Amino acid sequence: MFQRLIDDVKETAGSAVRLTSLAVAAAVALLITTSFLCAAAFMFVLERHGPVAACLTGAAIFFVVTALAAGSYMVRKNQIENQIKVRAEQAAKTAAHSLLADPAMVAVGIQVIRAIGIKRLVPILAIGGVALGFFAARGGQRTAEEPAE
């Protein structure tokens, strides 16, 4: 159980690092490319229409590039969030199914009930249910706590 939790943390941290490095590399490349294209467009418009139109053209080029970069970043971030949700749902379904279907786990549960007694076990199960509720609520917040990039 803890190994799965550790693997999930490693996977989300790894994807956040990859996403950040991808965003930085794309931003640097776009900055350099846009700088040269904007300089060329500025010189062309400056010769034909004057300095005000040239400055407005440069601003328009930077605005379009920024909008494209932000849009692609948001699409990728939404894809990652959807993948995390699907994996969490699948993991929850398989974990619950495998525990209930395992005969050894059922036998251990019956032995625990016999050893402790049903009257003493009810409060323990209630505390376990509350802890499970907190754990499930925290698992849903984990995707919201990822750093915004």
134 and 108 co-located in one domain? yes
What gap in Å lies between CA 35 and CA 29, rounded to an integer?
Answer: 10
Whether residue 149 lies inside any domain: the answer is no
What gap in Å lies between CA 127 and CA 21, rounded to an integer?
Answer: 43
Q: Domain range spanning residue 24?
A: 2-99
Q: What is the pLDDT of residue 4?
A: 72
User: Which pLDDT tens digit goes with each residue over 64-79?
Assistant: 888 998 999 999 999 9
Give, in order, the Cα–Cα distances in Å from 124 to each of 8, 130, 138: 28, 10, 21
Give, in order, the Cα–Cα distances in Å from 106 to each of 110, 132, 135: 6, 19, 23
Whether residue 7 lies inside any domain: the answer is yes
- pTM higher than 0.85 for the full model? no
User: Which pLDDT tens digit goes with each residue over 89-104?
Assistant: 887 777 666 666 677 7
| 116-124, long-range: CB < 8 A, 24+ apart | none
Band (pLDDT 50/70/90 cuts) for residue 113 is confident
Whether residue 147 lies inside any domain: the answer is no
132 and 69 co-located in one domain? no
